[in-house]
């Protein structure tokens, strides 16, 4: 068995969620998305969820220790015992180092793949993105439209534009997050655990490239 934890990295708008979902389906890996975890824990009213919500409601970043605790609890579940794709984590060098420490003696390999997309394409993707406030699915008005305009394919909720996807906030958001991303990318690059995949082109084209790169690090199709 290949006990692989694959960290999927990319800037906002790089397509991590879309591609992680497809790769998980093809490989049988557990898709662990930070955003989904936060929503689930908050909805369940768990201690971690209540703590996270207090920071989110105050407009603050959730502290690393809270995020790390949430991820550790999720990775301890049976479906994540063998293969995992992490989507949205780690976001900081401290989180990446904590992940390494947690699994240093476990025999599980941690590999990273970076979906690389140029800034202009990121802006176009972000401003065209629509999300489901109910189940968290993501769409794009041009690249991945829903079957019924403005409605989620999965739960039929009305899609929304996230406030941080509004044109006036996208540039500042990218500036802030690209700096943090580079520190995480550097950590995996310096330790010889980083692969780079072009995130440009169509969804199917990117999926094929990512599948090839994932196979190379041990996350093979099933």
Residues marked as catalytic: 16, 91, 129, 162, 173
Q: Is the dihedral of CA 118, 83, 69, 130 positive or negative?
A: positive
Please state, in angstroms and rounded to a whole number, the distance separating the CA atoms of residues 137 and 152. Answer: 7
Please state, in angstroms and rounded to a whole number, the distance separating the CA atoms of residues 84 and 2. Answer: 10
Q: Which residues contact 5 (CB under 8 A, 6 or more apart)?
A: 75, 84, 86, 99, 103, 108, 109, 110, 111
Q: How far is CA 74 from CA 38, 78, 81, in A?
A: 11, 9, 10
- Exposure b/e, 126-147, CB count within 10 A at least 16 = b: bbbbbbbeeebbbbbeeebebe
């Amino acid at each position: 068995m290949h006990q692989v934890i694959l960290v999927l990295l990319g800037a906002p708008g790089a397509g991590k969620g879309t591609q992680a979902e497809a790769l998980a389906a093809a490989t049988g890996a557990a898709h662990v998305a930070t955003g989904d975890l936060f929503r689930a824990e908050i909805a369940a009213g768990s201690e971690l969820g209540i703590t996270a919500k207090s920071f989110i409601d105050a407009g603050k970043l959730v502290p690393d220790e809270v995020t790390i605790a949430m991820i550790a609890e999720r990775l301890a579940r049976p479906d994540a015992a063998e293969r995992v794709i992490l989507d949205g984590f780690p976001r900081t060098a401290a989180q990446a180092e904590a992940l390494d420490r947690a699994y240093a003696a476990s025999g599980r390999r941690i590999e990273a793949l970076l979906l690389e997309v140029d800034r202009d394409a990121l802006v176009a993707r972000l401003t065209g993105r629509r999300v489901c406030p109910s189940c968290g699915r993501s769409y794009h008005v041009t690249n991945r439209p829903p079957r019924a305009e403005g409605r989620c394919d999965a739960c039929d909720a009305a899609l929304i534009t996230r406030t941080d996807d509004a044109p006036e906030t996208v540039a500042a958001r990218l500036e802030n997050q690209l700096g943090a991303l580079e520190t995480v990318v550097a950590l995996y690059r310096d330790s010889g655990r980083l692969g780079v995949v072009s995130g440009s082109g169509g969804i199917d084209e990117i999926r094929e490239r990512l599948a090839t790169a994932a196979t190379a690090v041990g996350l093979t199709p099933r």
